[in-house]
Chain A
Amino acid sequence: MIQIKDLTKSYKMVSDENQQDIRILNQLNLTVQTGETVAIVGASGSGKSTLLGLVSGLDQPDSGEVIINDQSLQKLNQQDVTGFRASNIAIVFQQYYLVQHLTALENVLLPLEILNQKVDTNFVNNLLDQVGLSHRIHHKPNQLSGGESQRLALARALVIKPSLLLADEPSGSLDVDTGQKIMSLFFDQVKKNKTTTVLVTHDPSLAKKCDRVFQLINGQLQALV
């Protein structure tokens, strides 16, 4: 379960004449149950990515708290947050962010290597099979199409069996057809693995596939469904 309590985040905006605080998130609250999928929609600049950054522990709030599986990220130091993220949180980015010099298989295994975990070959092969990349495991990212790259990024996210999957516009860089295929695969996987998921998207039709949908407006979440 994820609990977000009174989360507030501001950024300093420096213009030619003065400096002012822009509050992006304003005492935001959200609870996501284990295995639940939640979509967050909102205009550009509304703070969606900022929220993901805070939930993933990549950023620190001005105030408030993020609790994942009863562990408050704010009570951990930087090193422990990184360790916690490595074993509990996975992120799928709009831009895939694959390591270019590693093969598809090595990219998938990378989080396990970082965790120094023993590789369950069957699980990894099965995962790659499920995302349709078992025939491309020795290819480098620059030899893969956009769709294949995103599927690879999804496999990399799922390989650690995360407690929380954060997805930032995962189909944003893909054409409509490929995007739909990817998202279908995405939902299949998260449902099958009962992965708690927070999906940030502009696409209302995609958001509707989630259990709940929120709109981020004026620094707060408003439930749409």
Chain B
Amino acid sequence: MMSFFKLIQFSMKDIFSQKRISTFFVTNLILGFLGFFLLQIFQNSLVLETQSKAQETLGGDLVISVRRELTIEEKEKFDLKLKEQFISKTQYYDFFAMTIFKTDKLDSKTRLVLVKAIEESYPLYGQFKKTIFQDNQETPIFVDPEIIDQFQIDTKKINQISLGDQKFNLSGVIQSDPTRTFRFGALAPTVYIRYTDLPKTNLIKTGSTITSVVSYKLKTPTNANQLKKDLEKTFTDSSIRFSSAFLQEDSGNRVFDYLLDYLNLVSLVAIGLSFLCLGYMLQWLFQLQIKNTALYKILGLSHWQAVQTQIIKNFVLSLFAFLIATLFVLILKTPLEQIMYSYFEVSAKLDFTLKSFFVNLVFIVIGPQLVAIPSYLNIYQMDPLPILKGQNHDVREKFNLQKNLVLVGLLVVFWLIAILQSQSLLIGSAFTGALSAIGLLTVLVLFLFKGFIQKIADQLGFQNKYAITSLLRQKKSTYLIFTTMTLSIAILVLLPQIKKSILNELRPQSASKIPSLFMFDIQPEQVAGLEKIVLDKTQQKLQLTPLVRSRILKMNDADYERKAESEFFKTREDENEARFRNRGVNLTYKKDLQDSETIVKGRWFSREYNLSDSNENSDIPEISLEERYAGRVGAKLGDVLTFDVQGLEIKGQVTSIRRVRWTSFQPNFFVVFQPGVLEDAPQVFLSAVNNLATDQVRTLQTDIVNSFSNISIIDVRESVEKSLVFIDKMALALQIMAGLSLVVGFFIFIILINTQVRERLSEMNLLQVLGAGLPVVYSIFVKQFALIIIFSLFFGLLFGLIMAYFLMETLFTLSLTFDFTSLGVLIILLTTVLAGIIFFATRPIRHLQPLQLLKDGA
């Protein structure tokens, strides 16, 4: 028996003697895994960054937040519940407000800012990095550096900034706040004032958009999860959010989440294609080496040793690929970090940790071994004698239950990997499902139409008949090529559609439809005054949208309970659902739909609700839910939701589901009541003012802030411009990622066609010997590939668009926007490149050496 050491030597010799195959194998692995690898490190870095800084970014071990003012009783209850558990605590408010800065030239500048009213003890973890201009001010205010630039503040002078009724003295700049990780796309810069100075501003009124936060530093920080659960059980008000620094939560940034989802998809594409290609290459490898393996077996290698040889070869090549991929990652790490920082202001370090090293090592080395199981089974079961005699040459075509079970097992493993990788049951299942569906469809099409296609082929001339018969008879390779190509094309079609849809969602509508100013926190008593100012300055009548704060109490009369969170594994869908369920909801009421809304199910309100006409039990007010919100709270048409509005229970029956275009900058809401229900509830108003010139925006903004300091105003155009810059950067990033998968896809086409050509060289030589001219032989094979490409293109396009629709509807919950330009460019590009690939890959056919058949036998 050959020793294990000898087996290794034996395998190494095989690797070196088949340099071309080994290079293909390794290149495929490197390309496929590089994207996955980089993404894995990127994600790990983010997780590490988030974990190590979780206490800093969260502002404590356990944080309680609510989008309203916390009552003193509530705060006392929290303290009581956590007594003896915490060392220190801090509390702060944050909210949007307008700030006024008066310059020397006497004209004042206004700007929307995020105000953080903090206690001395803030932050509990980490430290501010700040530059102090003026110390020991009576009412100090610290600001983000961009405010200094925007207001062109001379920091050497004494400067005053107004917030509401209070003038603050500019004390310095906060260079970095440990609680802020991602700054890109922020609506407004932040200013910091003292907690005790907040009442002086007089900005907080009933219904103001404010977040109250109480943060605790615990004696045993790791108890945070348990305490969070205890608090959630005790405090049933689902609008209160309890956060632990030791539970993963998403970034909370919609744009960033889209980017991550897209990244996950791309990495799945890369890895999926890589696995498919790997499976195909292993089959090919097995076929190429079948005689050698049979010979080794005849010469005394046991079945198991023959398999071991392959395992060792796979292991060595995978390891080699891993090391090269690692090298690439190390080279790309620094430039990527710089790009991440300069483009997205994400300062996450791409830490190449021991964990990510081993996770990837295990994945890259184990993956090919799993994919190779069917080949190992082939080798193990192979009877060498008939193979050496030239019989049973094509063992691949034989049906084998065991191998098919292994394939099913592999699919399940891939499904689990896909879910783990995408952190989404939906996206992982959709991706694996699409993969299986395309494979099954191919099998089904070939099975159902085989006879029919063969009959048509029989009527055709030799070239076409031979080309089609070959495709139909060589089922396994046809399935593999067709499936791989269809999937690659589907993915390539899918990515730009998703990109366009995401960007379309993020990119605001045409400038004419965007309001100039968006105002919120308008108190009812301020409406008349505000209307007058707007009318005087713009000759426009103010359109007001009411906002009523509430939380869901019941759904169909059953208590709407706080969603328990699993500690074991949370998908993105679980997180989203939990977050949605556990927060309050703003209600509005209106008669008509806005431009930015469309009804997707049910019907819009037909009339005003009239309490006096109705029987309370049978006539429940109608409500309309935003599509995504309805999905996440689990409500459908006909369901009755009960809301708590300032202690009063109000029911609403879902009569329509709406799709809302959030980037319209119109006042949009998740829940809309029919008019006649909420008019008397405590409410504030939102409003948008359209078509203002730049000067008008400034003067109106200043006039409103001078009269009503609590009203927050967003200069929409400025925000849009800011977001466009980021969106364009993101578009470029998405483009690059789609490009990566395109490269992987093309590489796979090259491998598939190349292997097919090489595998069938002897058949082509034979055709020439039998009298088929070179142009005929060439034409047969080009026709075969052309047929596969035409069908793959057709089904790839079809599947890609279906997948895009499915993913947009379910994962991203956005409307699919078709990108016909990309589609057209992609089809032209694919056809051209594929034609080029066929041209180059079939070069060996143009240099056929039929004489080789005689030489092989000599």
Asked if A44 lies at the interface with its beta carbon under 8 angstroms from chain B, I say yes
Residues of B within 8 A of A53 (CB): 851, 854
Considering only CB atoms, which chain B residue lies closest to A110 in the complex?
B770
Assess whether B393 is in contact with A78, with CB atoms less than 8 Å apart: no
Assess whether A58 is in contact with B769, with CB atoms less than 8 Å apart: yes
Assess whether B770 is in contact with A102, with CB atoms less than 8 Å apart: no
Tell me the complex Cα distance, A22–B94, Å.
91
Residues of A within 8 A of B473 (CB): 101-102
Assess whether A86 is in contact with B772, with CB atoms less than 8 Å apart: yes
Q: Write the A119-143 contact mask toward B (1 if CB under 8 angstroms, else 0).
A: 0000000000000000000000110
B767 CB to nearest A CB, Å: 7
Secondary structure call for the B interface:
helix
Residues of A within 8 A of B452 (CB): none
Tell me the complex Cα distance, A86–B462, Å.
14
Residues of A within 8 A of B853 (CB): 93, 95, 97
Assess whether A83 is in contact with B462, with CB atoms less than 8 Å apart: no
Tell me the complex Cα distance, A205–B524, Å.
116
Considering only CB atoms, which chain B residue lies closest to A45 in the complex?
B858
Q: Write the B748-781 contact mask toward A (1 if CB under 8 angstroms, else 0).
A: 0000000000000011001111111111100000
Asked if A65 lies at the interface with its beta carbon under 8 angstroms from chain B, I say no
Assess whether A82 is in contact with B773, with CB atoms less than 8 Å apart: yes
Asked if A224 lies at the interface with its beta carbon under 8 angstroms from chain B, I say no
Assess whether A85 is in contact with B857, with CB atoms less than 8 Å apart: no
Instruction: Point out which of B465, B773, B854 has the most chain A C-beta atoms below 10 A from its C-beta.
Output: B854
Assess whether B762 is in contact with A97, with CB atoms less than 8 Å apart: yes
Contacts A99-B763, A100-B393, A142-B394; is A111 near B770 (CB within 8 Å)? yes
Assess whether B771 is in contact with A83, with CB atoms less than 8 Å apart: yes
Asked if A94 lies at the interface with its beta carbon under 8 angstroms from chain B, I say yes
Assess whether B854 is in contact with A168, with CB atoms less than 8 Å apart: yes
Tell me the complex Cα distance, A83–B773, Å.
7
Tell me the complex Cα distance, A49–B858, Å.
7
* 8 Å CB interface, B314-351 against A: none
Tell me the complex Cα distance, A144–B770, Å.
21
Considering only CB atoms, which chain A residue lies closest to B850 in the complex?
A58
Assess whether B772 is in contact with A114, with CB atoms less than 8 Å apart: yes
Asked if A113 lies at the interface with its beta carbon under 8 angstroms from chain B, I say yes
Residues of B within 8 A of A49 (CB): 854-855, 857-858
Assess whether A146 is in contact with B391, with CB atoms less than 8 Å apart: yes
Considering only CB atoms, which chain A residue lies closest to B858 in the complex?
A49
* 8 Å CB interface, A38-54 against B: 44, 48-49, 52-53
Contacts A49-B854, A85-B771, A91-B769; is A144 near B391 (CB within 8 Å)? yes
Instruction: Point out which of B474, B762, B766, B770 has the most chain A C-beta atoms below 10 A from its C-beta.
Output: B770
Residues of B within 8 A of A114 (CB): 462, 767, 770-772, 776
Residues of B within 8 A of A113 (CB): 462, 465-466
Assess whether B854 is in contact with A58, with CB atoms less than 8 Å apart: yes
Assess whether A149 is in contact with B462, with CB atoms less than 8 Å apart: no
A58 CB to nearest B CB, Å: 5
A82, A93, A169, A172: the one within 8 Å of B771 (CB)? A82
Assess whether A101 is in contact with B771, with CB atoms less than 8 Å apart: no
A85 CB to nearest B CB, Å: 5
Tell me the complex Cα distance, A79–B769, Å.
12
Assess whether B391 is in contact with A101, with CB atoms less than 8 Å apart: no
A44 CB to nearest B CB, Å: 7
Assess whether A111 is in contact with B771, with CB atoms less than 8 Å apart: yes
Instruction: Point out which of B766, B771, B851, B853 has the most chain A C-beta atoms below 10 A from its C-beta.
Output: B771
Asked if B543 lies at the interface with its beta carbon under 8 angstroms from chain A, I say no
B499 CB to nearest A CB, Å: 42
Tell me the complex Cα distance, A107–B755, Å.
24
Asked if A186 lies at the interface with its beta carbon under 8 angstroms from chain B, I say no
Q: Write the B839-858 contact mask toward A (1 if CB under 8 angstroms, else 0).
A: 00000000000110111111
Tell me the complex Cα distance, A58–B767, Å.
12
Residues of A within 8 A of B394 (CB): 100, 142
A168 CB to nearest B CB, Å: 5
Contacts A145-B391, A146-B391; is A85 near B769 (CB within 8 Å)? yes
Residues of B within 8 A of A94 (CB): 857
Considering only CB atoms, which chain A residue lies closest to B767 in the complex?
A114
B662 CB to nearest A CB, Å: 56
Asked if B397 lies at the interface with its beta carbon under 8 angstroms from chain A, I say yes
Considering only CB atoms, which chain B residue lies closest to A79 in the complex?
B773
Tell me the complex Cα distance, A183–B854, Å.
19
Asked if A76 lies at the interface with its beta carbon under 8 angstroms from chain B, I say no
Residues of B within 8 A of A116 (CB): 461-462
Contacts A58-B850, A142-B391; is A95 near B773 (CB within 8 Å)? no
Q: Write the A130-171 contact mask toward B (1 if CB under 8 angstroms, else 0).
A: 000000000001101110010000001000000000001100
Tell me the complex Cα distance, A173–B858, Å.
11
Residues of B within 8 A of A52 (CB): 854
Asked if B105 lies at the interface with its beta carbon under 8 angstroms from chain A, I say no
Considering only CB atoms, which chain B residue lies closest to A56 in the complex?
B769
Residues of B within 8 A of A93 (CB): 853-854, 857
Asked if B470 lies at the interface with its beta carbon under 8 angstroms from chain A, I say yes
Tell me the complex Cα distance, A222–B470, Å.
45
Q: Write the B775-801 contact mask toward A (1 if CB under 8 angstroms, else 0).
A: 110000000000000000000000000
Residues of A within 8 A of B392 (CB): 142
Residues of B within 8 A of A100 (CB): 393-394, 763
B390, B763, B770, B858: the one within 8 Å of A48 (CB)? B858
Assess whether A58 is in contact with B773, with CB atoms less than 8 Å apart: no
A44, A146, A169: the one within 8 Å of B390 (CB)? A146
Tell me the complex Cα distance, A188–B26, Å.
54
Assess whether B774 is in contact with A82, with CB atoms less than 8 Å apart: yes
Tell me the complex Cα distance, A101–B393, Å.
11
Asked if A203 lies at the interface with its beta carbon under 8 angstroms from chain B, I say no
Residues of A within 8 A of B772 (CB): 82, 86, 114
Residues of B within 8 A of A87 (CB): 771
Tell me the complex Cα distance, A97–B771, Å.
14
Assess whether A101 is in contact with B854, with CB atoms less than 8 Å apart: no
Considering only CB atoms, which chain B residue lies closest to A103 in the complex?
B473
* 8 Å CB interface, B810-858 against A: 850-851, 853-858
Assess whether A99 is in contact with B857, with CB atoms less than 8 Å apart: no
Asked if A115 lies at the interface with its beta carbon under 8 angstroms from chain B, I say yes
B390, B469, B775: the one within 8 Å of A102 (CB)? B469
Asked if B19 lies at the interface with its beta carbon under 8 angstroms from chain A, I say no
* 8 Å CB interface, B618-634 against A: none
Contacts A101-B469, A101-B474; is A86 near B771 (CB within 8 Å)? yes
* 8 Å CB interface, B375-418 against A: 389-394, 397
Considering only CB atoms, which chain A residue lies closest to B461 in the complex?
A116
Tell me the complex Cα distance, A102–B853, Å.
19
Residues of A within 8 A of B462 (CB): 113-114, 116
Asked if A62 lies at the interface with its beta carbon under 8 angstroms from chain B, I say no
Considering only CB atoms, which chain A residue lies closest to B462 in the complex?
A113
Asked if A59 lies at the interface with its beta carbon under 8 angstroms from chain B, I say yes
Residues of A within 8 A of B858 (CB): 44, 48-49, 168
Tell me the complex Cα distance, A48–B772, Å.
24
Q: Write the A61-103 contact mask toward B (1 if CB under 8 angstroms, else 0).
A: 0000000000000000011001101110001011111011110
Considering only CB atoms, which chain B residue lies closest to A46 in the complex?
B858
B761 CB to nearest A CB, Å: 12
Considering only CB atoms, which chain A residue lies closest to B770 in the complex?
A111
Q: Write the B428-466 contact mask toward A (1 if CB under 8 angstroms, else 0).
A: 000000000000000000000000000000000110011
Please, could you name 23 A-B residue pairs with CB atoms under 8 Å apart, sorted by A? A44-B858, A49-B855, A52-B854, A59-B851, A82-B768, A82-B774, A93-B854, A97-B769, A99-B763, A99-B766, A101-B470, A101-B473, A110-B770, A111-B771, A114-B770, A114-B772, A116-B462, A141-B393, A142-B391, A146-B390, A168-B854, A169-B857, A173-B390
Q: Which B residues fall within an 8 A CB radius of A?
A: 389-394, 397, 461-462, 465-466, 469-470, 473-474, 762-763, 766-776, 850-851, 853-858
Q: Which A residues fall within an 8 A CB radius of B?
A: 44, 48-49, 52-53, 56, 58-59, 78-79, 82-83, 85-87, 91, 93-97, 99-102, 106, 110-111, 113-116, 141-142, 144-146, 149, 156, 168-169, 172-173
The 7 closest A-B pairs by CB, nearest first: A86-B771, A101-B473, A94-B857, A49-B858, A49-B854, A53-B851, A58-B851
